[in-house]
Chains A and B, each alone.
Chain A
Amino acid sequence: MADTLKPPTEVPQTSDDPTQLVVRRGPLAAALSHQLVWPVVALVVLLAVNVAADPGFLAIRIQDGHLFGNLVDILRNSAPVLVVAIGMTLVIATRGIDLSVGAVAAIAGAIACTTLVDSASQGAAATAIIACTYALAVCVLLGLWNGFLVSVVGIQPIIATLVLMVAGRGLAMLVTDGQITTVNNDFFSGMASGFVLTLPIAFVLAVGVYALTALITRRTALGMLIEAVGINPEASRLAGVRSRTIIWTVYVFAGLCAGVAGLVIAANTNSVNANSLGLWIELDAILAVVIGGTSLAGGRFSLTGTLVGAIFIATLARTIASIGIPPEANYLFKAIVVVVVCLLQSPQARGALRAHLAPARSPKGGARA
């Protein structure tokens, strides 16, 4: 620390060293070193595969006054995973994880739908707003519970949130009495299927959550504090950061995000099935976060990376149905794609590949690490 401060000439040199190396390799290599490049490349390749299978894949037309096409569907269907993944990004940045988001989403859907059905005026917009507010309030409580277990009681996040992951779905079944509850409310339905300025409301909503989160974490010190807690909670506490409050807050935020996602999923089919709503969405969300370049070890996060990751996962789901992968091979196909993307992102794997392709040119590199 002290050395880097004293000789000011040395500081730029040491930090410039890798950059100079990159500059020597040309501007393309410089671009390739950006964190977001690989997820974006993966997304573009996936879209290219789709275009190869169906040349009209990217076509977008106006239908009933809104945009209509594969890309629009992908954006719309990415909304639930995106919202959950944004909450998950912050949790993972504190070196935590939240497995309960799928169950919390199911609870949100269950509460909103049963409130709507039990209401005297089921179709009214006001009823929908009350039902959603009620559901989200419960999700905040559930987030408080998760945060309490992690930050106050000190249980490991994976175990603490496991409690709600298992119990939550049971709670959702209790709320719906184990039945599929169907609702009929245009306002509620519009949250998932509606369009605003020709764009799907669900995606606009998700991007809104993204933008707001990015604004709050990156335009204030909050993002840096979250990262500090992720790197070392004890050290940041001693440095005056309220670790406990910050960890608690991110779990509450993750719960709220899961609730919003649950509402969108329920609105998408105007019904809630407590058994299947949001099933495995926690894994999709973690995947989106990882694809986006946020490390599971905590300490740094990229919300834009998560955005790309969520769209990638929605594109993958669409690809499976679109290019006609046999149902038996769905999971295998998904697994292979995910492994390839993760390898692309790993500097070691890329270094090994480079060393293999051009052994003479880069004898150093991270290949042996």
Chain B
Amino acid sequence: MVKKNLAAISAVALTALTLTACGSSSEAGGGNETGGKGAGSDGKITMGFAQVGAESGWRTANSTNIQESAADAGIELKFSDAQQKQENQIKAIRSYIQQKVDVIAFSPVVETGWDGVLQEAKRAGIPVILTDRAVDSEDTSLYKTFLGSDFVEEGKKAGQWLVDNAADADVDGDGDINVVELQGTTGAAPAIDRKEGFEEVISSNPEIAISQSQTGDFTRDGGKQVMEAFLQSEDGIDVVFAHNDDMGLGAIEAIEAAGLEPGKDVKIITIDAVKDGMTALSEGKINFIVECSPLLGPQLMDLAKKVLDGEEVPARVVTEETTFTQEQAAEVLPTRAY
């Protein structure tokens, strides 16, 4: 009985992982597109874009931005929402191939299993651009370029700010800077890469050391619980480095509950720059945010035009991203798209 239950529970767990987002999107299901007729014999470029889904504010901003920049660039966009399912995305890409679009762009739901459909696109002579997430394939000729954030670089930017502001960051004035790290989901690319980039840069300053590092699963609740434990077990925490805004926001609550003032008694560095994070930054509760921007539409449209004009494009294009201090956050907050 127990064994049966366990088997069922694990089956459920797997299903739930792939199904969590069903119903999240107000748009129609896989392979359902907006936009007009096929390839641009009239000289107008047609792009097929297969989006992951609408699982977060980040993703929604990403979709809106791509739709808007396509309109701005005069590119006809066929947009589909895969609701986090690979088969929906493959279906959508196949339908783009049949409709003979000029270029296909997509954010792969998972890393593997794309060779077949990408071969079909290649045979049909349609160039493919990956956005935001990479695919794991031996054959790099299957796609023209990968446009997305460089997570290692984000970690480095966060570390660089700490190195540059080391004098202020030593809150308790004991000569060394005690950093605690709230990692993302164990094994996730952003978590691994951000940690790597951050550690690489702070190693240049012997005063800075990470004393505790634990996963907060990229969630507020996780960040809060781990930070509560750190505050109890670790004396003289100067800096919190959180792999995303949400865990940083959780840490703020834990710090406040401990009677300390976030941003002053404990400095906080996060990555993402979503709205709630930016609000906290402008209120002085976070000290520095490295942007992980979803607004890659303009770059994508630019790349698509270059590819179709036969120009060489680099195999890896990094999203244009910036960083925000508290002053900058207050300035840009009213006009942020997400």
B230 surroundings in chain A (CB, below 8 A): 321
Q: How many residue-residue contacts, CB under 8 A, span A and B?
A: 130
Report yes or no: B24 in contact with A170, Cβ–Cβ below 8 A. Answer: yes
CB distance from A111 to the nearest CB of B (A): 15
Question: CA of A167 to CA of B20 in the docked complex: distance in angstroms?
Answer: 8
Q: Binary interface profile of B, 17-43, with partner A (CB < 8 Å = 1, else 0)? A: 001111111100000000000000000
Report yes or no: B24 in contact with A321, Cβ–Cβ below 8 A. Answer: no
Q: Binary interface profile of B, 213-227, with partner A (CB < 8 Å = 1, else 0)? A: 111011111101110
A residues 253-269 in Cβ contact with B at 8 Å:
265, 268-269
Report yes or no: B215 in contact with A63, Cβ–Cβ below 8 A. Answer: no
Looking at B7-15, B86-94, B146-154, the stretch in contact with chain A turns out to be B7-15
B12 surroundings in chain A (CB, below 8 A): 99, 162, 165-166
CB distance from B66 to the nearest CB of A (A): 17
Report yes or no: B221 in contact with A173, Cβ–Cβ below 8 A. Answer: no
Q: Does B310 contact A (CB under 8 A)?
A: no
Report yes or no: A73 in contact with B228, Cβ–Cβ below 8 A. Answer: yes
- Nearest-neighbor residue (CB-CB) of B228 within chain A: A73
Report yes or no: B233 in contact with A322, Cβ–Cβ below 8 A. Answer: yes
B54 surroundings in chain A (CB, below 8 A): 178
Report yes or no: A296 in contact with B220, Cβ–Cβ below 8 A. Answer: no
Q: Does B253 contact A (CB under 8 A)?
A: yes
Looking at A28-36, A115-123, A211-219, A271-279, the stretch in contact with chain B turns out to be A271-279
Question: CA of A265 to CA of B221 in the docked complex: distance in angstroms?
Answer: 8
Looking at B55-63, B106-114, B130-138, B329-337, the stretch in contact with chain A turns out to be B55-63
Q: Does A204 contact B (CB under 8 A)?
A: no
Looking at A229-237, A300-308, A323-331, A347-355, the stretch in contact with chain B turns out to be A323-331
Q: Does B313 contact A (CB under 8 A)?
A: no
Q: Does A317 contact B (CB under 8 A)?
A: yes
Q: Does B172 contact A (CB under 8 A)?
A: no
Question: CA of A277 to CA of B183 in the docked complex: distance in angstroms?
Answer: 18
Report yes or no: A69 in contact with B232, Cβ–Cβ below 8 A. Answer: yes
User: Could you jot down 29 A-B contacts, CB within 8 Å?
Assistant: A63-B259, A68-B259, A70-B233, A73-B232, A77-B228, A99-B9, A169-B19, A169-B20, A170-B21, A170-B23, A173-B23, A173-B24, A178-B24, A178-B25, A179-B60, A180-B276, A193-B257, A265-B221, A269-B220, A270-B253, A273-B219, A273-B220, A275-B21, A276-B219, A317-B225, A321-B230, A322-B229, A327-B214, A328-B187
Known: A178-B24, A269-B224, A327-B186. Contact between A322 and B9, CB under 8 A? no
Question: CA of A112 to CA of B79 in the docked complex: distance in angstroms?
Answer: 33
CB distance from A279 to the nearest CB of B (A): 8
- Nearest-neighbor residue (CB-CB) of B233 within chain A: A322
Report yes or no: B217 in contact with A276, Cβ–Cβ below 8 A. Answer: yes
Q: Does A174 contact B (CB under 8 A)?
A: yes
Q: Binary interface profile of B, 243-258, with partner A (CB < 8 Å = 1, else 0)? A: 0001001100100011
Question: CA of A240 to CA of B69 in the docked complex: distance in angstroms?
Answer: 70
Report yes or no: B220 in contact with A170, Cβ–Cβ below 8 A. Answer: no
Known: A173-B20, A283-B9, A321-B214. Contact between A273 and B246, CB under 8 A? yes
Question: CA of A158 to CA of B259 in the docked complex: distance in angstroms?
Answer: 44
Report yes or no: B56 in contact with A166, Cβ–Cβ below 8 A. Answer: no
Question: CA of A268 to CA of B224 in the docked complex: distance in angstroms?
Answer: 9
Report yes or no: A170 in contact with B20, Cβ–Cβ below 8 A. Answer: yes
CB distance from B68 to the nearest CB of A (A): 19
Question: CA of A280 to CA of B217 in the docked complex: distance in angstroms?
Answer: 13
The 4 closest A-B pairs by CB, nearest first: A321-B229, A170-B23, A269-B220, A173-B24
A330 surroundings in chain B (CB, below 8 A): 186, 215
Report yes or no: B214 in contact with A320, Cβ–Cβ below 8 A. Answer: yes
Q: Does B16 contact A (CB under 8 A)?
A: yes
Q: Does A150 contact B (CB under 8 A)?
A: no
Q: Binary interface profile of B, 196-218, with partner A (CB < 8 Å = 1, else 0)? A: 00000000000000001111011
- Nearest-neighbor residue (CB-CB) of B222 within chain A: A276
B215 surroundings in chain A (CB, below 8 A): 327, 330
B56 surroundings in chain A (CB, below 8 A): 178-180, 275
Question: CA of A73 to CA of B230 in the docked complex: distance in angstroms?
Answer: 12
CB distance from A116 to the nearest CB of B (A): 15
Question: CA of A134 to CA of B226 in the docked complex: distance in angstroms?
Answer: 31
Q: Binary interface profile of A, 61-94, with partner B (CB < 8 Å = 1, else 0)? A: 0011000111001000100000000000000000
Interface residues of A (CB under 8 A from B): 54, 57, 63-64, 68-70, 73, 77, 97, 99, 158, 162, 165-167, 169-171, 173-174, 177-180, 182, 193, 265, 268-271, 273-277, 280, 283, 296-297, 317-318, 320-325, 327-328, 330
- Nearest-neighbor residue (CB-CB) of B217 within chain A: A276
Question: CA of A285 to CA of B166 in the docked complex: distance in angstroms?
Answer: 44
- Nearest-neighbor residue (CB-CB) of B57 within chain A: A179
CB distance from B234 to the nearest CB of A (A): 9
Known: A178-B55, A269-B250, A296-B2. Contact between A277 and B8, CB under 8 A? no
Question: CA of A97 to CA of B233 in the docked complex: distance in angstroms?
Answer: 37
Report yes or no: A318 in contact with B229, Cβ–Cβ below 8 A. Answer: yes
Q: Does B5 contact A (CB under 8 A)?
A: yes
Question: CA of A321 to CA of B56 in the docked complex: distance in angstroms?
Answer: 27
A283 surroundings in chain B (CB, below 8 A): 9
Report yes or no: A324 in contact with B212, Cβ–Cβ below 8 A. Answer: yes
Known: A63-B258, A173-B24, A269-B221. Contact between A158 and B214, CB under 8 A? no
- Nearest-neighbor residue (CB-CB) of A173 within chain B: B24
Question: CA of A271 to CA of B249 in the docked complex: distance in angstroms?
Answer: 10
- Nearest-neighbor residue (CB-CB) of B211 within chain A: A324
CB distance from A81 to the nearest CB of B (A): 12
- Nearest-neighbor residue (CB-CB) of A280 within chain B: B13
Question: CA of A177 to CA of B56 in the docked complex: distance in angstroms?
Answer: 9
Report yes or no: A169 in contact with B276, Cβ–Cβ below 8 A. Answer: no
B222 surroundings in chain A (CB, below 8 A): 276
A169 surroundings in chain B (CB, below 8 A): 16, 19-20
B60 surroundings in chain A (CB, below 8 A): 178-179
- Nearest-neighbor residue (CB-CB) of B223 within chain A: A269
Report yes or no: A180 in contact with B16, Cβ–Cβ below 8 A. Answer: no
Report yes or no: A277 in contact with B221, Cβ–Cβ below 8 A. Answer: yes
